[in-house]
Amino acid sequence: MGIANRNISLRAMRVFCIAAERESFREAAEMLFLTSSAVSHKIKQLEIDLGIKLFERTPRSLHLTAAGTALYDDICLLIAEFDSVITKHKKTQRSRSLRISVQPFFASELFVPRLPEFVAQHPDIDISIDTSDESPEKHPGTADVSIRIFKTPPGALACDRLFPLRLLPSGTPELYDAIKIRAGKITSPFPLLIHESRPKAWLEWERSSRIKVPDHANAIRLDSMIAVARAAEQGLGAALIPKQMSASWINSTKLVQLFDHELLTNDTYYLVCRKERRDNEAIQLFRKWVLRNFVDDD
């Protein structure tokens, strides 16, 4: 190893990988139990040591540069493998460990309620769950296995199809009772709740259902599906909520299905991991449990 490389710490590389995945120094700091300024300082020092700019910084956003993306692609797997080796040789550790990344709404409505079964069946597997990242079509470098939305099967990863994403028009019973339709058009007030990652979902539902939404419907945009569902529950408007994750809301009568027509999207949930890790025993046990619990042939 060159003398210059000895100045670059493994911890700095781990901080970089997490900041890259979150695209946020604040979120990386929370995960690492550091301050945002400490994370920023480590990244700045790493940029100095490497002689490259890793992030483009603006007051409202943080994005990897081309050089940062290249470094992340090269280093994230090495960090994961290093952590796996250290875990393997820890005398105090449980016999197996599994780092799982699941998108927040899937985690709260489907995954966590069913997780006790897996824990009871495999008490020797030490589980770490990350639900902080809602990004689709990305397998975090720090995770052994993840459940993510993809438009097409991710060829670079080992994957199992779970179910297609279907969105149900949902709202309070009061909103349902107030809906009026004339000649295929909603004529009553119909405020919309819009997930920022799916800004055209209501337009797509309108086209496929042939029920026209009011042209000047009030809209509230939110950045997470959990926030969309909560806003619908509070009577702020109509929401398009994933069908497979709406059962607890519908069954509790906090929300009702506003129309029979559901929107079948082009997205599908997949269970994914890196191909070189798919034969790992803990991953295989988890895979079998997920396929038994979450596969939907709709």
Domains in the chain, number: 2
d(CA 46, CA 40): 10
Same domain for 68 and 123: no
d(CA 104, CA 55): 26
d(CA 104, CA 130): 9
Domain boundary among 88, 107, 134: 88
Domain boundary among 57, 88, 119: 88
Same domain for 231 and 176: yes
Same domain for 227 and 190: yes
Between CA 2 and CA 10, with CA 4 as vertex, the angle to 5 degrees is 90
Per-residue pLDDT of the chain (298 residues; tens, 9 = 90+): 344 455 677 888 888 888 888 888 888 877 777 778 888 888 888 888 888 999 998 877 888 999 988 898 888 878 877 777 776 666 544 457 899 999 888 998 889 999 999 999 998 898 988 887 667 788 887 889 999 999 999 888 999 999 999 999 999 999 999 999 999 999 999 999 999 989 999 999 999 999 999 987 789 999 889 999 999 999 999 999 999 888 888 888 889 999 999 999 999 999 999 998 888 999 999 999 999 999 875 5
- Please tell me whether residue 99 adopts helix, strand or coil conformation: strand
Q: Which domain holds residue 244?
A: 94-298
Place of tokens 């799982």: 100
Domain boundary among 38, 54, 88: 88
Same domain for 82 and 222: no
Same domain for 168 and 74: no
Same domain for 132 and 77: no
Same domain for 61 and 121: no
d(CA 247, CA 243): 7
d(CA 135, CA 103): 8
Same domain for 296 and 212: yes
Same domain for 188 and 242: yes
Same domain for 160 and 49: no
CATH number at residue 242: 3.40.190.290
CATH number at residue 69: 1.10.10.10
Q: Return phi, psi of residue 214, to 5°.
A: -50, 140
Same domain for 109 and 77: no
Same domain for 147 and 28: no
